[in-house]
Amino acid sequence: MSEPVDQLSQGTPALRLHRQLSAIWATGPGLQRLAAVNHSVIGMRMMITSFVFFAIAGVLGMLTRVQLATPNSAFMVPETYNQVFTMHGSMMLFLFAIPMVESFAVYLTPKILGTRDFAFPRLTAYGYWCYLFGGTILTVALIAGVAPDSGWFMYTPLSSNVFTPGMNSDVWLLGVTFVEISALSLAMEIVVSILKMRAPGMSLDRMPIFAWYILVTAMMMIVAFPPLILGSILLEVERAFGLPFFDPTRGGDALLWQHLFWLFGHPDVYIIFLPMAGVLSTIIPVFANRPLVGYRAIVVAIIALAFLSFGIWVHHMFTVGIPHLALAFFSAGSAIVAVPTAVQIFAWLATLAHGRPRWDVPMLYVFGFFFIFVMGGLTGVMLAMVPFDWQAHDTYFVVAHMHYVVAGALAFPMLAAFYYWLPLLTGRTAVHRLSVPAFWLVFIGFNMTFFMMHLTGLRGMPRRIYTYSGFEGWNWLNLLSSIGGFVMTIGFALVVIDLFVQLRYGRRVRRNPWGATTLEWAMTIPPAPYAFASIPDLGTTRADSIAPGDLALSLARGEGYLGSTRNGWQETLGVHKTSGLPDQLIVLPSPTYLPLYTALVTAAAVLCMLFKFYLLSLAFALLTAGLFVFAGQSAGLARDFGPLPVGRGVSVPPHTEAADPPALLALICTLVADGTLFTSLLFGTFYLWISAPNWTAVVVPEPSRMLTVGAVAALGVAAAAARGSLRAATAGGRAGGWIGLAVLALLAAIAAAVGQIAGVVPDPRVHALGATAAALIGYVVLHAGIGLLFLISNSLRLGAGFISPRRVLDLRLTRLWLDYTLVTGVIAMGLVLATPVLVTVMGVRP
Amino acid sequence: MSERPVPPRQLWWLAAGFAVWCSALVALYAIHGIGCAFAWSTGSLRLWLAAALLAHLTVLGWMWYDAARAGADPGFGPTGAFLRWAVIGTLITAFVATAITFGPPLLLATCV
């Protein structure tokens, strides 16, 4: 069953192999660039795009500093100032910080792992376009004067219809959610790729520490983003259709938004920090000339940090009236989260202390990071103490702390990373005459700007005021802060000039100028679209202890795995998750415009929602789903191949026939994200039950038992039929009948659930009890609907020959989806059925 | 490489310790919220909270003991040894975090 190989790897000239691979992997010229799916191209685009947003957000930050430089300033009116500071924060967090760390991950991870690309290149491209279009919507709104103006965390009720009746809040809710689609899709991509697409021999204990950081960060994103996505959906539904989730007068609670926002918001700080810590853990050993101290302890520390960061969101809400005992849980958690952070800092210091450190530009920024981050960490521990937080809450002290931990912990390692990895792209290193002054300007400017804010905060200056009278004792501190802001901006401008100068006039260097020992340096400079001409076999060597120079030549000659081309396929290797042994040949899709078209249609759905063309928005949303089904039609291979040779005497099946294909893990990641969103919805329901001031409804709900049981039974039949289709296909039988039965069952479930929504009492627009019941049932309807899309796709692919007894991945995915739909359906419908009991219980409380 | 690959399902153990920590947070926060909403007596609420904390510490302690007692399977080679070390590390860390985060606060006034 093996396919003939075009050319044996032995004796293949490196140049010829390069040409063959380039013809297969390269992105076309001109407009064909819009069809790019390659991780290097997309990673670079994301990096440049996020820098553009950084520049815009930086200018907005400067405008706020101009306004606050002197008292009674008339530079901006309050309405404009509100938009400016809201957009500064929103852009920095959602359009710069998160995409920037993701762009690093997209560009570098496959190279550091010794593979050729990510698992789902079309998803990478779709994620990028969603990010670009979502960011553009926000930017255009700013130019049009209708930008969000309720602060970057959009607290209700300020952001609700009553107090923000225009489209400003909608822009934020829809634009940011659109961008989050990108973040989530890339996070899933990263998890799957790290676990399934490493160089053979790279077992988990030999994986570079950078990959551990990125893996944990991506997993955090999968769990952190859904609560905010849910919050944004609920608030948009409240604003658009009047369902009062956050309206205390109708059974909602404004604090629910804060919980959902900070369930995302606090882990987000670590989502930004951890990849940068990964950068530091990669750079410091190189410049210390010794391996990283405490590899295993750092792995444990980042796992601990990831979890602890999810359990301390309430420290942003210390002043909302939560009882002391509960506050103490979050206060203690906020303090001990410093311990795993300190483990990493001491590991870096120990690495430097036990090595022979040498100075260069990246190390200047590492030094800057240490200073800034330790300062921010210490003020973090101060703010974790409830009595201090009560004094400093909503003052400039918090603004200062936040900039030290988020801006400092991101900006300094990021610039260190730029200076470290730019030679990989350009073959040149920095011009010191510019780099060193640029660093000092950024460092001095940063501290001058934000250190002063600690002092203004301690002197009582509240955040977000647009001016002050001049008698408060803040004048000179604000002026210094504003001057510092300009110094920092000049520093950043010099950095940009330096990077451009480096591109043209930088000192030429040989491959691997820093003497690094990781795989990204074992490739051509600049990296070719296929990354590695052949995939390295690490044997028993650690992936952070290799000699890139020798390996690069050997790989270029095709002496690793897949050192030849076959059928014009974009091939790479899939490995066992823990051992890194090759277990499948992954054939990746070629460049296509489909991600661009799908993102454009998604953008149309978002824009129609923004301008209140709801039916049109629904139509575009359905078209987006249709395009996903269409994209799936060409995925995989249309016939069985059996084990195929991949070089070095190894043969493995293609991913379509493998037991553990990447798509299966991707769906599991999707369901984890989806499950988090569902859990957040359950949390919201119970939170309103226990906390909302006017939750006890006037009308006691009476959900229909028949419709509930009918919907759940139909979901059960659909899940059973999906299993039947899988069994039939595996046995070589006909699966079509089972798929048809599953379709009918899902239609019945949708009909019963829609009937249940129509009869929800109290009316969802009148009271939060009805609104939460409608949201829970709506969740079931949505998932049953997506299940239908799975089944339609199965049916089409069955007819086109993409499913055989060996290739049953489609049916496995459908089974998993329908199992999940059944489980969540039982919980959601059961909870709706239990609402009369909840109302009764609440009615009898003292 | 002659050793057997570590089954991927064992990776879940890396998250197991802190999953229990998360469970403790959810349980304690929920019990506290319900107890205050329904005006449970201070003693009764404190007892429930202490019981929930103790249950979680017991589970973590048992997981730690079990992981340490089982020893590394030499058949899994260095990868197995690394994962075992990391799992025990996360279990100890989660145990300490649970005790420090949720223990002392139980001495505070319950619903003020």
3-state secondary structure A577-600: CCCCCEEEEEEECCCCCHHHHHHH
Reading the block at residue A352, the tokens are 């430097």
Give me the interface pTM, i.e. the ipTM: 0.96
Residue A804: per-residue pLDDT: 93
Determine the length of chain B: 112
Which chain B residues are within 8 Å of A223, Cβ to Cβ? none
Residue A364: per-residue pLDDT: 94
Task: Provide the 3-class DSSP secondary structure of residue A573.
Answer: strand
Q: Choose, out of A191, A195, A198, A203, the residue to mutate when testing the contact with B (most B CBs < 10 Å).
A: A203
Neighbours of A614 (CB within 10 A): 12
Q: Does position A10 have pLDDT exceeding 50, yes or no? A: no
Test A323 with B36 for CB contact under 8 angstroms. yes
Residue A697: per-residue pLDDT: 64
Closest to A327 in 3D by CA, of A272, A383, A252, A265: A383
Which element (helix H / strand E) includes A672? helix A662-691
Which chain A residues are within 8 Å of B42, Cβ to Cβ? none
Residue A293: per-residue pLDDT: 95
Which chain B residues are within 8 Å of A581, Cβ to Cβ? 1, 5
Closest to A495 in 3D by CA, of A163, A54, A20, A9: A54
Q: How close B110 gets to chain A, by Cα (Å)?
A: 6
Q: How close B89 gets to chain A, by Cα (Å)?
A: 6
Which element (helix H / strand E) includes A409? helix A409-426
Q: How close B76 gets to chain A, by Cα (Å)?
A: 9
Test B5 with A579 for CB contact under 8 angstroms. yes
Is residue A502 within 8 Å of residue A433, measured between CB atoms?
no
Test B101 with A329 for CB contact under 8 angstroms. yes
Q: How confident is the model at residue A431 (pLDDT cuts 50, 70, 90)?
A: confident
Q: Choose, out of B34, B101, B102, B107, the residue to mutate when testing the contact with A (most A CBs < 10 Å).
A: B101
Test A204 with B22 for CB contact under 8 angstroms. no
Q: Choose, out of B2, B14, B26, B82, the residue to mutate when testing the contact with A (most A CBs < 10 Å).
A: B82
Q: How confident is the model at residue A841 (pLDDT cuts 50, 70, 90)?
A: confident
- Angle, helix B77-102 to helix B42-70, in steps of 10 degrees: 160
Domain that holds residue B37: 21-107
Rounded CA Rg of chain A: 28
Chain A: residue nearest B83 by CA? A205
Which chain A residues are within 8 Å of B104, Cβ to Cβ? 328, 332
Q: Does position A573 have pLDDT exceeding 60, yes or no? A: yes
Q: What's the pLDDT tens digit per position in A329-377?
A: 999 999 999 999 999 999 999 999 999 999 889 999 999 999 999 999 9
Q: What's the pLDDT tens digit per position in A24-35?
A: 999 989 899 999
Percent of chain A scoring above 90 in pLDDT: 84
Is residue A163 within 8 Å of residue A122, measured between CB atoms?
no
Is residue A112 within 8 Å of residue A518, measured between CB atoms?
yes
Q: Does position A9 have pLDDT exceeding 50, yes or no? A: no
Residue A5: per-residue pLDDT: 39
Q: How close B39 gets to chain A, by Cα (Å)?
A: 7
Average of pLDDT values for A418-438? 87
Q: What's the pLDDT tens digit per position in A484-505?
A: 999 999 999 999 999 888 888 8
Which chain A residues are within 8 Å of B81, Cβ to Cβ? 205
- In angstroms, the CA A718 to CA B8 distance is 29
Chain A: residue nearest B33 by CA? A690
A667-692 burial code (b ≥16 CB/10 A, e <16): bebbbebbbbbbbbbbbbbbbbbbbb
Arithmetic mean of pLDDT over chain A: 92
- In angstroms, the CA A833 to CA A773 distance is 9
Which chain B residues are within 8 Å of A695, Cβ to Cβ? none
Chain A: residue nearest B108 by CA? A325
Q: How confident is the model at residue A60 (pLDDT cuts 50, 70, 90)?
A: very high
Test A578 with B21 for CB contact under 8 angstroms. no
Task: Provide the 3-class DSSP secondary structure of residue A562.
Answer: coil
Is residue A572 within 8 Å of residue A119, measured between CB atoms?
no
Q: Does position A433 have pLDDT exceeding 90, yes or no? A: no
Task: Provide the 3-class DSSP secondary structure of residue A61.
Answer: helix
Q: Does position A3 have pLDDT exceeding 50, yes or no? A: no
Residue A444: per-residue pLDDT: 97
Q: What's the pLDDT tens digit per position in A265-307?
A: 999 999 999 999 999 999 999 999 999 999 999 999 999 999 9
Residue at B4 is within a domain: no
Q: What's the pLDDT tens digit per position in A758-777?
A: 888 888 999 999 999 999 99
Residue at B13 is within a domain: no
Q: Do the bridges between strand A650-652 and strand A644-647 make them parallel or antiparallel, or are there none, so unpaired?
A: antiparallel
- Angle, helix A662-691 to helix A209-241, in steps of 10 degrees: 50
A845: nearest CB among B38, B78, B81: B38
Closest to A623 in 3D by CA, of A606, A602, A594, A607: A602
- What are the backbone dihedrals phi and psi of residue B22, each rounded to the nearest 5 degrees, phi first? -60, -40
Q: How close A162 gets to chain B, by Cα (Å)?
A: 29
Beta carbon pairs, A and B, within 8 Å = 122
What homologous superfamily is domain A696-843 in, according to CATH?
Cytochrome c oxidase, subunit III, four-helix bundle (1.20.120.80)
Average of pLDDT values for A786-792? 96
Task: Provide the 3-class DSSP secondary structure of residue A647.
Answer: strand
Q: Does position A667 have pLDDT exceeding 90, yes or no? A: yes
Residue type, A735: A
Task: Provide the 3-class DSSP secondary structure of residue A395.
Answer: strand
Chain A: residue nearest B22 by CA? A311
**Residues in CB range of A751: below 8 A, 6 or more apart:** none
Q: What's the pLDDT tens digit per position in A531-555?
A: 999 999 988 889 988 988 889 989 9
Residue type, A640: D
Residue A693: per-residue pLDDT: 82
Chain B: residue nearest A580 by CA? B5
Which element (helix H / strand E) includes A366? helix A361-384
Torsion of the alpha carbons at A377, A381, A384 and A385, rounded to the nearest 10: -160
Q: What's the pLDDT tens digit per position in A809-831?
A: 999 999 999 999 999 999 999 99
A296: nearest CB among B1, B15, B86: B86
C-alpha distances in angstroms, A511 versus A199, A424, A557, B92?
21, 8, 17, 43
- In angstroms, the CA A394 to CA A510 distance is 52
Reading the block at residue A694, the tokens are 């006017």
**Domains held by chain B: number:** 1
Reading the block at residue A663, the tokens are 């798509």
Residue A8: per-residue pLDDT: 42
CA terminus-to-terminus distance, chain B = 61
DSSP state of A654: B
Residue A584: CA count within 13 A, CB half-sphere = 19
Residue A477: per-residue pLDDT: 96
Average of pLDDT values for B92-112? 94
A579: nearest CB among B6, B32, B100: B6
Chain A: residue nearest B18 by CA? A307
Chain A: residue nearest B28 by CA? A326
Test A336 with B83 for CB contact under 8 angstroms. no
Residue A593: per-residue pLDDT: 96
Which chain A residues are within 8 Å of B83, Cβ to Cβ? 204-205, 578
Q: What's the pLDDT tens digit per position in A305-332?
A: 999 999 999 999 999 999 999 999 999 9
Residue at B89 is within a domain: yes
Residue A384: per-residue pLDDT: 92
B79: nearest CB among A205, A329, A660: A205
Closest to A514 in 3D by CA, of A748, A787, A284: A284
Q: Choose, out of A198, A339, A579, A584, the residue to mutate when testing the contact with B (most B CBs < 10 Å).
A: A579
Is residue A263 within 8 Å of residue A804, measured between CB atoms?
no
- In angstroms, the CA A175 to CA A344 distance is 35
Is residue A760 within 8 Å of residue A777, measured between CB atoms?
yes
Test A300 with B5 for CB contact under 8 angstroms. no
State how far Cα A222 lies from the chain centre: 7
Average of pLDDT values for A575-590? 95
Residue A301: per-residue pLDDT: 97
DSSP state of A428: E
Closest to A207 in 3D by CA, of A220, A222, A194, A225: A194
Segments of A554-656 assigned E as strands:
570-575, 582-588, 644-647, 650-652
Test A846 with B39 for CB contact under 8 angstroms. yes
Test A297 with B89 for CB contact under 8 angstroms. yes
Q: Is B65 exposed, middle or buried (0-12, 13-18, 19+ CB in 10 A)?
A: exposed
**Residues in CB range of A159: below 8 A, 6 or more apart:** A148, A150, A169, A172, A235, A257
Domain ranges of chain A: 20-508, 696-843
Q: How close A837 gets to chain B, by Cα (Å)?
A: 15
Residue A507: per-residue pLDDT: 82
Residue at B8 is within a domain: no
A332: nearest CB among B34, B82, B101: B101
Task: Provide the 3-class DSSP secondary structure of residue A676.
Answer: helix
Where do runs of H (alpha helix) occur along B10-76?
13-37, 42-70
Q: How confident is the model at residue A717 (pLDDT cuts 50, 70, 90)?
A: very high
Is residue B13 within 8 Å of residue B85, measured between CB atoms?
no
Residue A6: per-residue pLDDT: 42
Residue at B3 is within a domain: no
Chain B: residue nearest A302 by CA? B90
Neighbours of A284 (CB within 10 A): 23
B79: nearest CB among A329, A331, A579: A579
Pick the CATH number of A20-508 from 1.20.1090.10, 1.20.210.10, 3.40.50.970, 3.40.630.10: 1.20.210.10
Q: How close B108 gets to chain A, by Cα (Å)?
A: 6
Chain A: residue nearest B109 by CA? A325
Single pTM value for the model? 0.94
Where do runs of H (alpha helix) occur along A145-253?
168-196, 209-241
DSSP string, A138-162: HHHHHHHT----STTTT-TTTTSTT
- In angstroms, the CA A696 to CA A548 distance is 67
Q: Which of A520-524, A543-547, B14-18 has the highest mean pLDDT?
A: B14-18
Residue A843: per-residue pLDDT: 66
- In angstroms, the CA A749 to CA A755 distance is 10
Residue A512: per-residue pLDDT: 87
Q: Does position A4 have pLDDT exceeding 50, yes or no? A: no
Q: How confident is the model at residue A692 (pLDDT cuts 50, 70, 90)?
A: confident
Torsion of the alpha carbons at A206, A211, A213 and A215, rounded to the nearest 10: -110
Q: How close B7 gets to chain A, by Cα (Å)?
A: 7
Q: What's the pLDDT tens digit per position in A167-218?
A: 999 999 999 998 988 899 999 999 999 999 999 999 999 999 999 999 999 9
Q: How close B79 gets to chain A, by Cα (Å)?
A: 5
Task: Provide the 3-class DSSP secondary structure of residue A474.
Answer: coil
Q: Choose, out of A303, A318, A325, the residue to mutate when testing the contact with B (most B CBs < 10 Å).
A: A325
**Residues in CB range of A54: below 8 A, 6 or more apart:** A91, A92, A96, A100
Is residue A773 within 8 Å of residue A703, measured between CB atoms?
yes
